[in-house]
Structure 1
Amino acid sequence: MSMVTPVAIPVEGKKGEKKAAKWLGHYSSAQSILVVGDGDFSFSLALATAFGSGEKLVATSFDSYVHLVSMYSKAESNVAELKSLGATVLHSVSVKKMKKRTDLMSRRFDRIVFNFPHAGFIGKENQVHMINAHRLLVQRFFRNVSKMLRPLGEIHVSHKTGQPYDRWEIEGLALEFSLLKFEMVAFRKEDYPGYNQKRGDGDRCDEEFPLRNGCTFKFQRWPR
């Protein structure tokens, strides 16, 4: 069941009227949201569709647009629909260098979302060099986005738990940049209708991967 819920948060609408914000999962139409590394953009589209607008949403992909549409069967239509809903869509965005991009460097967000970060398939997940590659990716992500939050803003990283994923030690990586985990909740794909997580690499890039034991880690700057 979708978790779209109207709440009594005033949002400025057309001609100055007030309307209730809409929620999907942990996210609200009243929040400025940055989604990074969004695969085929289906997560961002789920948010914009539920909100009825993407006006406050910035959705990004690591891949160029040309590469993106060659990898994912629904990427072209998802991007077009996001833009029609007013979302900002950016391509070739590296989580390691985001804060230096001219189209992002002056922006601040209430929520920054990175779902299931992955450094690529360069070995088995339990190999030390793979774990180190993942850790470096997440570390550089935190370094960048720690400067892109609004006051009381939150960074959400959805991540598998258990071995070998616990060896990424993402809570420790976040603390390096004064980001403290204040909550961890189970990631429920059904809360985001239309979201399809993608492998993102190789001949099976457009296939989904299992989300067993997935959790959303929520971080804020410390002290709050």
Structure 2
Amino acid sequence: MVFPVGGQQLFVGEGDFSLTRSLFEHHSLPKDAIISCFSEDLTEEAAENAEYLSSAGISVITGVDATCLEKHPDISRHTFDYIIFNFPHTGHKMKIQLCRTLLRNFLCSASSLLTAQGQVWVTLCAGQGGTAGEVAPRAWSDSWQLTAQAAAAGLLLRRLEPFRPELYPGYRPTGNRGRQSRTFHTGRGVIHVLVRGAPLPLDRLADRLDAGGRALLLDGAPLPLAQYWLRRLPPADDSLAALIVSRLTSAAAAVRRRLLVRHEGRLFRAEDAVFESAGDDSVYHPPAYQLDMSFWLDGGAAADESFSWARLRRALRAVLGEVLVSLSRLDEYTQPDSGRRACTVRLQYQDLSSPLSYEAARRLHVQVLPDILSHALGVQPR
């Protein structure tokens, strides 16, 4: 059994109610669950299944828009431990942006009705989610980009489960407008379990420099992200940390897939600097964003002394910590007449413990970081 067996549950986007009927008949569906669908014009089979569930005492509601749950007069009066949407679709083929918008709007709406420990479960066809955990992964650009849509709703991907249609006798997926003739493949489908997360406090990032980050700016050569965090491990882990650092810096270390260190209840995979929480706090496949930044130096010898790429890297590490995945230099130009240098860099952001949406990453990149770098290094954003 994969689906939850207890708690207050809300199912949205049910096609013909055959899946929830199968759950009730062969597994466990709480009597106080609410089952809903978008259409008010039910097919004969959907009406039959809805009547069966209603006669068993389960609440069935039609005409429910999953993207506006907080506005529904009956549903909005409740909070839920589980909100479940199986195989969402817009009714249009080959319009992936509409699918992403549907997913984002649903997640934003659902998150407002969750209990403190509530979860959102979204089942997608193989590859649609866009995570590396798929059995049949797609390119990120060809997916629904689930983790990015979840981050916009303040949600994190906690767990992936395979959807096994053979466990639900009688379930028949419906396609456009509930039509059995327009079905889709559920084999190798994936259940994505999402939970609430605390967003990155963008307005307090500058405090990291004042709280000791300035010392980091002058602390030796720039460090790769993995080594930066390994330096922060407690002394008791020195021997293991030293082993990991030696592996990281060894040119002969070609495979490091299982090199892990535990710190404060979290597992750190050293080869690519990904944190994974231990046990029930695991977070998977957070979205990453690449953004470019250009800035001017003051010009002249004094500017060359006050600015260096190493100092820039250390400043960004001090402020962003694990959120900064990579920093690369794209271009550098010196004006012949003034001696001013223009620099362009590319930053990749990925928050490994909090939901980071593209909008938040953009705000961080455009509104927060330039002021911090101007204060710390004297550069002028372009």
Same fold (TM over 0.5): yes
**2:159 matched to which residue of 1?**
183
Larger displacement relative to structure 2 (172-181 or 204-213): 204-213
Q: Deviations over 1:152-205 (max 9, x none)?
A: 11101111214478521011110112110011111111222322111133xx81
1:110-189 paired onto structure 2 within 5 Å: 110-121=81-92, 123=93, 125=94, 130-160=95-125, 161=127, 162-163=137-138, 167-189=143-165
Measured after TM superposition, the shift of residue 42 of structure 1 is: 1.1
Question: Structure 1 residues 85 and 163, CA, compared in 2 at 3 Å: closer, same or farther?
Answer: same
Find the aligned partners of 1:149 and 1:170 in 2 and give their Cα distance.
Answer: 18
Aligned to 1:214: 189
Write the distance in 2 (CA, Å) between the matches of 1:52 and 1:117.
22
What value does the CA root-mean-square deviation take over the aligned residues?
2.0
* Paired residue type of 2:22: A
**Identity in percent:** 28
CA contact (8 A) 1:52 1:85 kept: no
Q: 1:177 to 1:206 in 2, by over 3 A?
A: same
Preserved CA contact (<8 Å) 1:156 1:218 = yes
Aligned-residue offset at 1:43: 1.5
Query: Aligned partners of 2:144, 2:114: CA distance in 1, in Å?
Result: 23
Q: Does 1:82 align with 2:59?
A: no
For structure 1, the 5+ residue unaligned runs are: 4-24
Q: SS in structure 1 opposite 2:172?
A: coil
2:172 — aligned with what? 196
2:75 and 2:84 map into 1 onto residues whose CA distance is: 15
Query: How far off is 1:49 after superposition?
Result: 2.4
Higher Cα Rg: structure 1 or 2?
2
1:17 equivalent in structure 2:
none
Question: CA 1:115–1:196 in 2, change beyond 3 Å: closer, same or farther?
Answer: same
Which structure ranks higher in relative contact order (CA pairs < 8 Å, sequence separation ≥ 6)?
Answer: 1
Asked whether the 8 Å contact 1:146–1:179 carries over to 2, the reply is yes
Is 1:26 matched up with 2:3? Answer: yes
Aligned counterpart in structure 1 of residue 22 of structure 2, from 46, 50, 74: 46
Shift of 1:120: 1.2
Letter of the aligned partner of 1:84 in structure 2?
S
For residues 20-74 of structure 1, the C-alpha deviation after alignment (integer angstroms, 9 at most, x for no partner) is xxxxx2220x22111101000112212222457652210111000xx212xxx41
Find 2:62's aligned residue among 74, 79, 91.
91
Letter in 2 for 1:89: V
Opposite residue 45 of structure 1, the aligned amino acid is R
Does residue 179 of structure 2 align to residue 205 of structure 1? yes
Matched residue count: 187
Provide the C-alpha distance between the structure 1 equivalents of 2:66 and 2:45, rounded to a whole number of angstroms. Answer: 23
- Greater share of helix residues, 1 or 2? 2
- 3-state secondary structure, aligned to 1:168: coil
Cα separation, 2, equivalents of 1:118 and 1:216: 15
Of the structure 1 ranges 159-168 and 177-186, higher mean CA displacement relative to structure 2 is found in 159-168
1:156–1:217 contact (8 Å) kept in structure 2: yes
What's the counterpart of residue 272 of structure 2?
A: none
- Please give the secondary structure, in 2, of the residue aligned with 1:153: strand
> 2:164·2:187 contact (CA, 8 Å) conserved in 1?
no
Change (3 A) 1:52 1:179: closer
Would you say the 8 A contact 1:181–1:218 is kept in 2?
yes
1:81-130 CA distances to partner (integer Å, 9 max, x unpaired)?
10011111111111121111110112111111111111112x4x2xxxx1
Instruction: Structure 2 unaligned segments of length 5 or more: list them.
Output: 128-136, 199-280, 282-382
Q: Secondary structure at the match of 1:114?
A: strand
Q: Is the 8 A contact 1:54 1:85 kept in 2?
A: no
Answer whether contact 2:20 2:29 (CA < 8 A) is retained.
no
Change in CA separation of 1:188 and 1:52 when aligned onto 2, cut-off 3 Å: closer
